[in-house]
Structure 1
């Protein structure tokens, strides 16, 4: 007997890629449980599927940085309950120090749907009752017919896991000019923020202020902040970043895009529909 749950949850996270550097991702999660009926004639109660498996996924990967531990160019160190990493990519070197719970260490050379799926299935299957013989997790990106970008960021003021300095999303963007969808502007912003790290200006610091890591070059951008979950540091190649004067919540990002558009042509009325992952986001419009 197979029990299934479609659209169980959405995972939002970032990961390290040898070619693309750090990028945000969002996957919709479907689950199937293959097993015998238990004493209440179920494979597993739907409420437990939704609660236990979603909770496990959140703890294992959601709002974390997924790190391929077998990748070339990766160095990992533990120091004072901090996970320190150095990663060489084609876009430059990335360095991060963060509490261990902000990182998902995955035994693979490459982070992709297959390696993430195997990681989740291995750990979550151990939580299943004896009557469940097989767990199948299916990850799938949201089908997007328009334009989108992958971005990573950190929100130090957030009470939950969004405060982690390197988590992200794959997000749709829709920009309207004078009430009409602008393909040109949507294309421009999806390319401008392709695999971007969006940093907050007040989180910038000098290399000398970092406690655990060092930038690879003098032009790398350094970030550091204290949040409820602990101390976070990050260095990124300058070409991998865009700095925002405000926080990088989706509300602020939508307003930022409108403001940037108005600088170029203030005579037009703009509407920006910015998504944060799947099915949620913010709308900002010209005043």
Structure 2
């Protein structure tokens, strides 16, 4: 017997890639449970699927930085005080120090749906009752007909897991100029923010202000902040970043794009629909 749940949850996270550096991703998760019927004639109660499996996925990967520990160029130092990371990609070196719960260490050479599903299987299957013989996870990106980008960020003021300095999203965008959808502007912003790290000016620091990591290149941008979960530090190649004078909430991103558009052509009216992952976001308009 197979029990299935479509759209169980969405994983919003960032991961490291030797080609592209750090990039944000959003995967919709489907799950199948293969097994025998239990004493109440179920494979597993749907409420327990959501409570047990969804909760485990959130704890294992969601709003974390996924690290392929078998990839070349990865150096990890895990202590009781947290995790330190050094990663070399074709876009430059990334250094990070963060509490352990902000990291998902996956024993793979690359972070792809198959390596993540194997990681989930390894940790979630032991939580299942004896009658569940197999779990099958399917991770799929949202079907997007328009333009989208991958971005990573951290929100130090957030009370939840968004405070982690390196998590992200795969997000679509819709920009209207004078009431008309503008494919040209959508394409421009999707290319501008493809695989971007969006940082806040107030989190930028000098190399000397870092306490836990040492940047090796003058071209790196350094970030540091204290959040509820602990201290976070990050260095990113300058070409990998765009710095904003505000927080990087999706509301601020939508307003930022509108302000940038007005600088280019103030004669037009603009409406920006910015998404944060799947099915949620913010709208900003010129007044």
Which TM-score applies when normalising by structure 1? 0.99
Secondary structure in 1 matching 2:8: strand
CA distance in 1, matches of 2:164, 2:131: 37
Counterpart in 1 of 2:208? 208
**After the TM superposition, which residues 6-25 of structure 1 pair with which residues of structure 2 at under 5 Å, given as runs?**
6-25=6-25
**After the TM superposition, which residues 7-46 of structure 1 pair with which residues of structure 2 at under 5 Å, given as runs?**
7-46=7-46
Q: 1:65 to 1:90 in 2, by over 3 A?
A: same
CA distance in 1, matches of 2:277, 2:122: 25
Query: Shift in Å at residue 216 of structure 1?
Result: 2.2
Counterpart in 1 of 2:112? 112
Query: Shift in Å at residue 79 of structure 1?
Result: 4.1
Counterpart in 2 of 1:229? 229
Moved over 2 A (4+): none
**After the TM superposition, which residues 240-251 of structure 1 pair with which residues of structure 2 at under 5 Å, given as runs?**
240-251=240-251
Q: Could you tell which deviates more after superposition, 70-79 or 223-232?
A: 70-79
CA distance in 2, matches of 1:196, 1:215: 19
CA distance in 2, matches of 1:122, 1:272: 41
- Provide structure 2 residue ranges, at least 5 long, that are not aligned to the other structure: none
Secondary structure in 2 matching 1:15: strand
Say how many residue pairs are matched. 287
Q: Deviations over 1:99-150 (max 9, x none)?
A: 0000000000111111011111111111100000010010000000000000
**After the TM superposition, which residues 144-223 of structure 1 pair with which residues of structure 2 at under 5 Å, given as runs?**
144-223=144-223
CA distance in 2, matches of 1:279, 1:114: 24
CA distance in 1, matches of 2:111, 2:98: 20
- Provide structure 1 residue ranges, at least 5 long, that are not aligned to the other structure: none
Q: Deviations over 1:170-193 (max 9, x none)?
A: 000100000100011000000000
CA distance in 2, matches of 1:17, 1:213: 20
Query: Shift in Å at residue 78 of structure 1?
Result: 2.5
Counterpart in 2 of 1:141? 141
Which TM-score applies when normalising by structure 2? 0.99
